[in-house]
């Protein structure tokens, strides 16, 4: 038998139904924030991808040459393509640019639960604003995306990379190395964590200070003051970052969403392109499984040879939402039964098709393609899960009537044809 | 500047808006016929594509090896993937299987107007019915897809390959060669057409008969009788085909769509996989430009090692619909102006954000991310095309009020905050 490739997915109708409902819900949410939908190509020049992620990414993606010898690839994420689109029209776009997209991505990696070679992500980004209000909108919008899907057992852990950046660089420690280690904290023992940090030059006193900072974990507005108290002197960038976080926390509280947010400086997001505010969303139920994340990436547009332009956004993986909604029992199950199934007895195609056309104005209507007897047709109506059956028989038609049967209650009633045809 | 690849398309919001409206309209139409949406992967094993189209197609598509050395490709059309999906679940699927899909395809060919390297098609198929009623449903559904988009200047030219198959094979002429020539009729002179047919063995008398048959061009029910009169003896297959066409024509008339259909035996559709009823849709305005086509392909599922299963369907290219709708002036232009833009004066974020949240339940609401003065904010509201502006000022807020300005009429009214917050 011919088979699909490993790590890709066939969506049969029952699978696609829920996926589309999720997409529609996400669109409704972000539309209300004024985001506009865009769509990028699935293939790009390879250099657009390596420009953002470095050459090493080539080993993890579908890269190939086209017949003209050009290096291209299936896009492994949306951001480079969107950045390219922004740069192309940077001068004429009304700022801030607020875009979203559901897009298909490909990575050549070992398939596992929730991680396929072909996968779908929902991206939301704001370009052109430095403001804490843009940070707030991205967070509020991300929170409401989940709430509108019926999910509420999650927590947004929010930080700003500038705080720990200032802390480590003030001590003369490589920020990149330090962030790589901080990112691994939950995966190693406390001793190992200390060893790793010690090896890049953090002494025991500063280690204790760091741990105190990383352990801050609570309401943004309540915790923000603690940071400067613990950390000691912070440079201007970090102080601005704290003020930004304070404003974000305030706006989230005004907006009534602060209960879904925590300050958590241990969130640094390994990805090098984030610059300031970062966040990661965790499932409160399943031992803090990470759901998705986002943040500010003010340097990316410049990297793509555009004028420097601040940006903030997030990407949600749809497989993750599907797993979560199924666990919560809120995955939208389809009801594929047609509203009407039209059964014909004898030579009544003329009338039956006129009834079908009339009902199809507002309803899903099916009928048997084979010329079967009445009980065959009723069986098919049943198998399809039809809600009502219209029985069009020769004798009834002569009297200008047809019978409607409610397939749930079993009730039958005779109707005037002219009413059915209106 | 980084650029997109040649032959692919960036959809900016104003482009994507219309594309999505088309998709939504197509979905609404086919949903009412009881079709269910499916989604296939974008990558497939190369052998699935060559199985249907032959090895020569490899030169026209994006085919490459993955890191495991497997031959794969970006799908150039949907049918092979859908056939694979049907075969995989052939035993458990309720027949007839009625599926649709909007999918992205790739072909490596010279880009031109309406023909890109990355393109979108809407596919609709019925698997599991031999019946003229299934043929009818595909035709009716295709017609209504266009009508529901607001298009009505088109004609479905319908034929059945079995008729000319019988004619040519009865004369001992290669059907494949003959169809290739018939397909080219509109592109060559009459003399050339005769020369070509003559070279594969058609004599002048039979040529005249053929031309008479090809020139039949009118209402199916009126013309169907002429065919047997002109053609002389037809084999059983052709006679069955004519009977099927007669039934299809009758059903289309009952359904009120016969004015959009013509019998036209010159439609043979070069593609080898069609077996019986075939159709091609033409624009009546622009010298009969071909819009899309479809037909019956009863052998494909067998080819994919499934049990033989009849199938009928069509595929519409979205770029073609876009060109057509733009020409007709019915392309859905977006109105991206938010329903409300909230302007703040002074320290009123608390109230302003509560108003925004409340209005966002049912409306698109935006506000300024920068802390600008009132005239800057009004300008932004104007640039965004906001329909109404809510002005939240410190003094008003103290009195429990806010002002709403209608940006079209210029009218202003003062509202109670509590009404805005409900």
A139 C-beta neighbours (distance < 10 Å), count: 27
Per-residue model confidence as pLDDT tens digits over A280-295: 999 988 666 889 999 9
Those of residues 194-223 in A touching chain B at CB distance below 8 A are none
Contact A371/B64, CB-based, under 8 Å? no
What lies within 8 Å, CB to CB, of A304 at 6+ separation is A48, A51, A52, A80, A83, A84, A86, A87, B2
Question: Among candidates B262, B13, B258, B282, which has minimal Cα distance to B153?
Answer: B282
Q: Where are the alpha helices (DSSP H) in B71-129?
A: 79-88
Q: Cβ–Cβ of A108/B338 closer than 8 Å?
A: no
Mutate which: A3, A4, A73, vs B, most B CBs within 10 A: A4
The verdict on B92 touching A (C-beta cutoff 8 Å) is no
CATH code of the domain made up of B13-327? 3.30.930.10
Residue B41 distance to chain A (closest CA, Å): 6
Predicted confidence band of residue B287 (pLDDT cuts 50, 70, 90): low
Using CB atoms, pick whichever of A85, A94, A360 lies closest to residue B10: A85
Render pLDDT for A351-408 as a digit per residue (tens, 0 to 9): 999 999 999 999 999 999 997 899 999 999 999 999 999 999 999 999 999 999 999 9
**Over the stretch B197-230, which tens digit does the pLDDT of each residue have?**
999 999 999 999 999 999 998 999 999 988 888 8
Longest dimension (CA), chain B: 96
B421 touches chain A (CB under 8 A): no
User: Residue A104's closest CA among A85, A90, A117?
Assistant: A117
Average pLDDT of the residues in B133-158: 97
Minimal C-alpha gap between A330 and chain B (Å): 21
A3/B337 Cα distance (integer angstroms):
47
Q: What is the pLDDT of residue B422?
A: 80
What is the nearest CA distance from A254 to chain B, expressed in angstroms? 5
Task: Select from B154, B396, B195, B129 the least CA-distant residue to B291.
Answer: B154
Are A186 and A280 in contact by the 8 Å Cβ rule? The answer is no
> How many other CB atoms sit within 10 Å of the CB of residue B299?
16
The per-residue pLDDT for range A231-288, each reduced to its tens digit, is: 878 889 999 999 999 999 999 999 999 999 999 999 988 767 899 999 999 998 866 6
For residue A407, how far is the Cα from the chain centroid? 38
Query: Which residues of A fall within a CB distance of 8 Å from B358?
Result: none
* Interchain contact B21–A (C-beta under 8 A): no
| Option in B32, B40, B66 nearest A360 (CB) | B32
Set of chain B residues whose Cβ sits within 8 Å of the Cβ of A354? 254-256
Q: A89 to chain B: which residues are within 8 Å by CB?
A: 12
Mutation target among A43, A71, A128 for the B interface, most CBs of B within 10 A: A43
Contact state of B360 with A126 under an 8 Å Cβ cutoff? no
Asked if B338's CB is within 8 angstroms of A255's CB, the reply is: no
**Chain A touched by B134 (CB under 8 Å):** yes
Q: Does the pLDDT at position A317 exceed 80? A: yes
> pLDDT tens across B374-419, in order?
999 999 999 999 999 999 999 999 999 999 999 999 999 999 999 9
For residue B270, is pLDDT > 80? no
Does the pLDDT at position B272 exceed 80? Answer: no
* Partner residues linked to A45 by β-bridges: A72
Residues A356, B2: C-beta atoms closer than 8 Å: no
* Residues of A in Cβ contact (< 8 Å) with B370: 129, 131, 133
Q: Report the residue of chain A nearest B126, measured CA to CA.
A: A369
Chain B residues in contact with A371 (beta carbon < 8 A): 131
ipTM at complex level: 0.94
Q: Roughly what angle, to the nearest 10 degrees, separates helices B79-88 and B46-53?
A: 110
> Is the confidence at residue A208, as pLDDT, over 70?
yes
Give the closest of A44, A131, A356 to B5, CB-based.
A44
Mean pLDDT of the residues in chain A: 94
B232 pLDDT band, cuts 50/70/90, is confident
d(CA A105, CA A121): 7
| Candidate CATH numbers 3.30.530.20, 3.30.930.10, 3.40.50.620, 1.10.3720.10; the one for domain A1-130+298-334 | 3.30.930.10
Confidence (pLDDT) at A271? 63
Between A137 and B284, name the one with better pLDDT.
Answer: A137
C-alpha span between A293 and A230 (Å, rounded):
27
The residue assigned the tokens 């197609």 is B57
CA distance A305 to chain B (A): 6
pLDDT band at A331 (very low <50, low <70, confident <90, very high): very high
Please tell us whether the domain made up of A340-420 is placed in CATH 3.90.226.10: no
Report domain extents, chain A.
1-130+298-334, 340-420
C-beta atoms of B137 and A38 within 8 A: no
Mean pLDDT of A170-199: 93
Sign of the dihedral defined by the CA atoms of residues A99, A104, A109, A114, in that order:
positive
Q: CA–CA distance from B375 to each of A93, B352, B371, B382 (Å)? A: 21, 17, 12, 10
Please give, one letter per residue, the 3-state secondary structure of B43-74: EEEHHHHHHHHCHHHHHHCCEEECCCCCEEEE
Read off the pLDDT of residues B15-30 as tens digits, 9 standing for 90 and up.
Answer: 999 999 999 999 999 9
């Amino acid at each position: 038998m011919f088979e699909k490739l490993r790590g890709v997915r066939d969506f049969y109708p029952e699978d696609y139904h829920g996926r589309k409902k999720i997409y529609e819900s996400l669109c409704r949410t972000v539309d209300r924030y004024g985001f506009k939908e865009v769509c990028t190509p699935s293939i790009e020049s390879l250099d657009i991808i390596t420009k953002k992620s470095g050459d090493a990414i080539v080993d993890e993606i579908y890269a190939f040459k086209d017949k003209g010898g050009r290096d291209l690839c299936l896009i492994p994420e949306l951001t480079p393509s969107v950045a390219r689109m922004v740069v192309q029209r940077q001068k004429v776009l009304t700022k801030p640019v607020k875009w979203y997209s559901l897009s298909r991505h490909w990575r050549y990696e070992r398939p596992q639960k929730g991680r396929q070679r072909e996968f779908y992500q929902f991206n939301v980004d704001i370009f052109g604003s430095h403001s804490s209000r843009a940070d707030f909108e991205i967070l509020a919008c991300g929170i409401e995306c989940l709430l509108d899907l019926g999910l509420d057992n999650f927590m947004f852990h929010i930080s700003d990379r500038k705080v720990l950046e200032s802390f480590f660089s003030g001590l003369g420690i490589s920020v990149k190395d330090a962030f790589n280690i901080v990112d691994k904290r939950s995966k190693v023992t406390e001793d190992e964590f200390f060893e790793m940090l010690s090896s890049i030059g953090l002494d025991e006193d500063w280690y204790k200070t760091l741990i105190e900072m990383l352990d801050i974990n609570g309401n943004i507005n309540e915790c923000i003051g603690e940071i400067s108290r613990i950390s000691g002197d912070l440079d201007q960038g970090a102080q601005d970052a704290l003020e930004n976080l304070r404003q974000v926390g305030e706006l989230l509280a005004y907006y009534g969403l602060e209960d879904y947010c925590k300050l958590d400086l241990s969130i640094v997001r390994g990805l090098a392109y984030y610059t300031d505010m970062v966040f990661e969303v965790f499932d409160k139920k399943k031992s803090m499984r990470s759901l998705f994340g986002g943040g500010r990436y003010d340097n990316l547009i410049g990297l793509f040879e555009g004028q420097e332009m601040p940006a903030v956004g997030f990407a949600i993986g749809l497989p993750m939402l599907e797993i979560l909604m199924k666990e919560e029992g809120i995955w939208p199950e389809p009801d594929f039964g047609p509203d009407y199934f039209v059964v014909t007895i004898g030579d009544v195609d003329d009338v039956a098709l006129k009834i079908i056309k009339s009902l199809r104005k507002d309803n899903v209507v099916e009928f048997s393609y084979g010329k079967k007897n009445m009980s065959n047709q009723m069986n098919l109506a049943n198998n399809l899960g039809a809600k009502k059956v219209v029985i069009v028989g020769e004798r009834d038609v002569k009297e200008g009537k047809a019978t409607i049967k409610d397939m749930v209650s079993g009730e039958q009633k005779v109707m005037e044809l002219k009413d059915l045809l209106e």
